[in-house]
């Protein structure tokens, strides 16, 4: 039987190093590796090709994913999962490494329940919002993309004595905004996980402006849904001209950092070895308390991800 890899859901830097590691590791074990293009949709549409060293040369430094990704409503219908299964059977593939998030893992859990196709999930999302793991592929690169953007925005903010309201991605998780706020020295941090007090924040900022402050950085998580409100508050209550910058999908791109590459190598090696050594596997490899381990899909879906409380404490000065 053979082994395959696919990406599902949003792309993230680190996926290409993971794909490279997957192919090389499979070949070392004399396994036939396959690449599934276009995620779950490609699984249904039979976009599955054998891979060699040549297919993954010169990709470790590239952002995104060379095998592309997708979200699929069709996969949640049994008839399409059956088609996907028959495509795999024709190629004698019974093991899949899945780079994705909790939604992708739930879909694959159902696939395993239906047809016993073994898989190991590798947490891959810049949102870093998967319960059970402290780290997901792509997070470090996204944080560095945000860092560069904030540093550049600070230059123009100080030149024009302005406030900039910068919106980061993250869905309903404020991890990216929180860490970016802390490490950039922002004055305001707005995330879903923390209550904020605009009255006291405004009094503090006005006092600082009277003492010579010439610019202000406000980092807002998209999940808070108050970006425009914060911009109006800065202008009307704080009295500083404000500009809004929505970083958007730039945060998913960029060459993967050294750390994301290294984590991709480690995650994927463990995933491949698990699939080759266990007759039955439908688990996710996670990084928890500085160690790698395997957990069940049920564990991943049992709770909502919570940001490290110590990080939340560091944001105290930026919310009230």
Question: CATH 3.40.50.460: which residues of the chain?
Answer: 140-252
Question: CATH 3.40.50.450: which residues of the chain?
Answer: 2-138+256-300
Please give the chain's pLDDT, 320 residues, in tens: 899 999 999 999 999 999 999 999 999 999 999 999 999 999 999 999 999 999 999 999 999 999 999 999 999 999 999 999 999 999 999 999 999 999 999 999 999 999 999 999 999 999 999 999 999 999 999 999 999 999 999 999 999 999 999 999 999 999 999 999 999 999 999 999 999 999 999 999 999 999 999 999 999 999 999 999 999 999 999 999 999 999 999 999 999 999 999 999 999 999 999 999 988 889 999 999 999 999 999 999 999 999 999 999 999 999 99
Which pLDDT score is estimated for 56?
98
Distance CA 261, CA 124 (A): 12
Enter the CATH code of domain 140-252. 3.40.50.460
Q: At what angle do helices 258-277 and 15-28 cross, to 10 degrees?
A: 40
Match domain 2-138+256-300 to its CATH number in 3.40.50.450, 3.40.50.300, 3.90.1170.50, 3.50.50.60. 3.40.50.450
Cβ–Cβ under 8 Å, residues 283 and 98 = no
Q: What is the DSSP letter of 123?
A: E
Which pLDDT score is estimated for 280?
84
Nearest CA to 271 out of 53, 41, 21, 70 is that of 21
Distance CA 34, CA 87 (A): 12
Distance CA 13, CA 60 (A): 10
Q: Which single residue is written with the structure tokens 């463990």? A: 270
- Strand order from edge to edge, sheet including 2-7: 48-50, 33-36, 2-7, 93-100, 118-123, 282-288, 291-296
Q: Six-digit token pair at 130?
A: 């998967």
Q: Six-digit token pair at 7?
A: 């990406």
Q: SS in 3 state form for 245-283?
A: EECHHHHHCCCCCHHHHHHHHHHHHHHHHHHHHCCCCEE
11, 94, 127, 129: which one is catalytic?
127
Cβ–Cβ under 8 Å, residues 320 and 191 = no
> Can you list the alpha helix ranges (DSSP code H) found in 12-131?
15-28, 39-44, 78-90, 102-115
> Can you list the alpha helix ranges (DSSP code H) found in 185-242?
198-210, 227-233
What is the reported pTM?
0.96
DSSP 136-194: -BTHHHHHHHHHHHHHHHHHHHHHHT-EEEEEE--TT--HHHHHHHHHHT-SEEE-TTS
- Tell me whether residue 127 is one of the annotated catalytic residues: yes
């Amino acid at each position: 039987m053979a082994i395959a890899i696919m990406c599902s859901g949003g792309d993230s830097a680190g996926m290409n190093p993971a794909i490279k590691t997957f192919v090389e590791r499979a070949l070392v074990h004399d396994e036939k590796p396959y690449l599934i293009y276009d995620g779950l949709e490609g699984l249904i549409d039979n976009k599955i090709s054998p891979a060699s060293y040549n297919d993954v040369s010169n990709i470790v430094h590239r952002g995104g994913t060379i095998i592309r990704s997708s979200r699929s409503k069709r996969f949640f219908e049994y008839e399409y999962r059956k088609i996907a299964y028959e495509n795999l059977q024709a190629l004698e593939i019974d093991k899949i490494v899945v780079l994705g998030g909790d939604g992708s893992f739930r879909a694959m859990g159902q696939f395993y329940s239906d047809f016993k196709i073994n898989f190991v999930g590798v947490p891959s999302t810049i949102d870093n919002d998967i319960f059970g793991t402290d780290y997901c592929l792509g997070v470090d690169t996204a944080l560095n993309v945000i860092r560069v953007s904030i540093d550049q925005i600070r230059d123009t903010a100080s030149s024009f004595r302005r406030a900039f309201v910068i919106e980061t991605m993250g869905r309903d998780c404020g991890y990216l905004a929180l860490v970016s706020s802390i490490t950039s020295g922002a004055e305001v941090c707005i995330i879903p996980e923390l209550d904020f007090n605009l009255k006291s924040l405004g009094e503090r900022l006005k006092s600082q402006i009277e003492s010579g402050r010439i610019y202000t950085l406000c980092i807002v998580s998209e999940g808070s849904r108050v970006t425009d409100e914060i911009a109006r508050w800065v202008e009307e209550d704080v009295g500083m001209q404000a500009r809004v910058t929505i970083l958007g999908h730039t945060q998913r791109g960029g060459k993967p950092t050294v750390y994301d590459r290294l984590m991709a190598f480690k995650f994927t090696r463990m995933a491949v070895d698990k699939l080759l050594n266990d007759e039955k596997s439908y688990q996710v490899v996670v990084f928890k308390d500085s160690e790698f381990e395997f957990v069940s899909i049920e564990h991943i879906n049992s709770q909502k991800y919570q940001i490290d409380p110590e990080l939340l404490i560091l944001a105290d000065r930026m919310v009230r």
